[in-house]
Structure 1
Amino acid sequence: MQVSLLQCQSSRSVPDNLAFIESQLKLLTKKDSAQLVVLPECCLLFGGQESQQLQYATREQDSSLKQDLSQLAIEYQVVLVAGSIPILAEDGRVYNRCYVFAADGRVLGQYDKLHLFDVEVSDGTKQYRESDAFCPGDRIVVVDTPMGKLGLAICYDIRFADLFRALREAGAEMIALPAAFTKVTGEAHWQVLLQARAIESQCFVFGAAQWGLHNGGSRETWGQSMVVSPWGEVVAQKREGTGWLQADIDLQSVQDIRARMPVMTHNRFVSPQLK
């Protein structure tokens, strides 16, 4: 199967971001009908204060952002892991939600980011407080796609190995990770975390990232979108710039590796449980 990751430099302009994604889909080369496309975190709205997500957050049934992404899946006939968009939560905050759309626009699954990025980073922003605007999800998600079983995680989730073990135990063969890692944390940890999670879960991991300076330099993200094999090999990567990263993968290799090294059956610790 072919997987295509789009590296973006998204801004606070939803129309501009949507136009960029569509312009890239027009250029997408497809080798077969089973095409998996992964967009980065906050693909339609990024930068500035997290509270700005509230301006575009609506109930799921009213979300024009969701509808726009669904239409792209239909028009370009791809299974679309649609990065993440803001969806209004019951308490007035926002879910950072990733939808997976079939090529006919149906929702195959959805995931709300579990772990919120409340940290201090030695960059221009200094402090990130996602919990000021976002509400954490309450479940793990593995989606049945025409290609195979796809686990979902978003950005900061990569630091929590228990989530990836839970995804593996729920049947995941591959895991999509839309992300917007800061330049500082990305340079230090992005690649090693992707490789570690792939090795531990024995899944393919698809890290689709934001890259570069956003909104006049108020935010800077690391980029380096990557496809990592269940053996930890970097199958493909795009270190800088915007555009496509494509790779051909064989899910049979997942079963082969798991058969040769059955770490799940050897593991003597209890299965992780979501709090």
Structure 2
Amino acid sequence: MPRIAVLQMTAGIDPAENARVLTDAAARVGGEGGQMLFTPEMSGLLDRDRKRAASSIMSEEDSAVLAQVREAASKQGIWIALGSLAVDAGAGRWANRGFVIDPSGAIAARYDKIHMFDVDLASGESWRESNAYRPGERVVTIPDTPVGKLGLTVCYDIRFPALFDALGRERCDVIAIPAAFTVPTGAAHWHVLQRARAIEASAFVVAAAQVGHHQDGRRTYGHSLVVDPWGEVLLDMGGEEPGLGFCDIDLARIAEVRAQVPSLANRREIAK
């Protein structure tokens, strides 16, 4: 039964400090027998001031945060699902890119967030992710991780069932949903959406989240979760503090749930 770790962060505007948090977490996971670490969206930099952030957003090849996380994975002999980093995608655009790093430190998979968070909330918060970020176009899964077949998403993707339908068709065992959810949307929808996606895909969901008050002025909801295929919440890290949580993943539970409610097998195409 694989043991995973979930990092809940209060990432700031200094990539070096965020990298320290990530590598310290990796060291603890390795020391405590964990096999895979999951981290939140924007683990390397959380800064809504895009002019200030620009000097810290590098290409993959030049990203010190990515290099340090890869080194930590290799040193500790663990897998790391690095929720996402802001990376320079060229042509004046950035990508909100997730990575899966294997125990050799190699990048085993990349995923660019498909759905851009372009919203105006009743609280007065306004977000236009598409002004700076280039959306991804591909569904990404990676087989043969410690938690079986892993599907990758990022944050706002959770609101788009078609992506999770595709991951269900791929028979993912676990779906990662790293996030930096706002407090108003988190309080209203976070738990119900996470549980629904787990139930629909008959898969575990691992949602590492940002939490608390950040240096750029935003506040995030936290409540990093692990949800089983039946929709049961196995881990909820609360909405107050950063930290590291551990959870054992019983992969046999997936077959049990799919036998009891075979919704993936019973799926039919709907005529248009």
Q: Does structure 1 retain, via aligned residues, the 8 Å contact 2:7–2:39?
A: yes
Aligned to 1:164: 164
Q: Does structure 2 retain, via aligned residues, the 8 Å contact 1:86–1:94?
A: yes
Q: CA RMSD in A?
A: 1.9
Q: Does structure 1 retain, via aligned residues, the 8 Å contact 2:168–2:200?
A: no
Change (3 A) 1:53 1:200: farther
- Structure 1 stretches of at least 4 aligned residues deviating more than 4 Å after TM superposition: 29-32, 50-53
Q: Counterpart of 1:86 in 2: which secondary structure?
A: strand
Aligned to 1:14: 15
Per the TM alignment, residue 179 of structure 1 is displaced from its structure 2 partner at its CA by: 0.4
Q: Counterpart of 1:84 in 2: which secondary structure?
A: strand
What letter corresponds to residue 223 of structure 1 in structure 2?
G
2:28 is equivalent to residue 27 of structure 1: yes
What letter corresponds to residue 149 of structure 2 in structure 1?
K
Aligned to 1:114: 114
Aligned to 1:221: 220
Per the TM alignment, residue 50 of structure 1 is displaced from its structure 2 partner at its CA by: 4.4
Per the TM alignment, residue 18 of structure 1 is displaced from its structure 2 partner at its CA by: 1.2
Per the TM alignment, residue 26 of structure 1 is displaced from its structure 2 partner at its CA by: 3.2
**What do the CA deviations read for 1:25-84 (whole angstroms, capped 9, x no partner)?**
33337665x611100000110032345543333333333332122112112221000121
Change (3 A) 1:50 1:195: farther
**What do the CA deviations read for 1:223-257 (whole angstroms, capped 9, x no partner)?**
00000000000011100311112111111110121
Q: Does structure 1 retain, via aligned residues, the 8 Å contact 2:59–2:87?
A: yes
Gapped runs of 5+ residues in structure 1?
A: none
Gapped runs of 5+ residues in structure 2?
A: none
**What do the CA deviations read for 1:151-171 (whole angstroms, capped 9, x no partner)?**
000000011111111012123
Q: Counterpart of 2:92 in 1: which secondary structure?
A: coil
Q: Counterpart of 2:136 in 1: which secondary structure?
A: coil
CA distance in 2, matches of 1:23, 1:199: 33
What letter corresponds to residue 140 of structure 1 in structure 2?
V
Percent of aligned positions that are identical: 37
CA distance in 2, matches of 1:206, 1:152: 10
Q: Does structure 2 retain, via aligned residues, the 8 Å contact 1:6–1:40?
A: yes
Q: Write the mapping of 1:36-75 to structure 2, written as runs, cut at 5 A.
A: 36-50=36-50, 52-75=52-75
What letter corresponds to residue 20 of structure 1 in structure 2?
V
Per the TM alignment, residue 270 of structure 1 is displaced from its structure 2 partner at its CA by: 5.0
Q: Write the mapping of 1:1-275 to structure 2, written as runs, cut at 5 A.
A: 1-28=2-29, 32=33, 35-50=35-50, 52-123=52-123, 126-147=125-146, 148-215=148-215, 218-239=217-238, 240-270=240-270
TM-score, scaled to structure 1: 0.91
Q: Counterpart of 1:205 in 2: which secondary structure?
A: strand
Q: Counterpart of 2:116 in 1: which secondary structure?
A: coil
What letter corresponds to residue 12 of structure 1 in structure 2?
I
TM-score, scaled to structure 2: 0.92
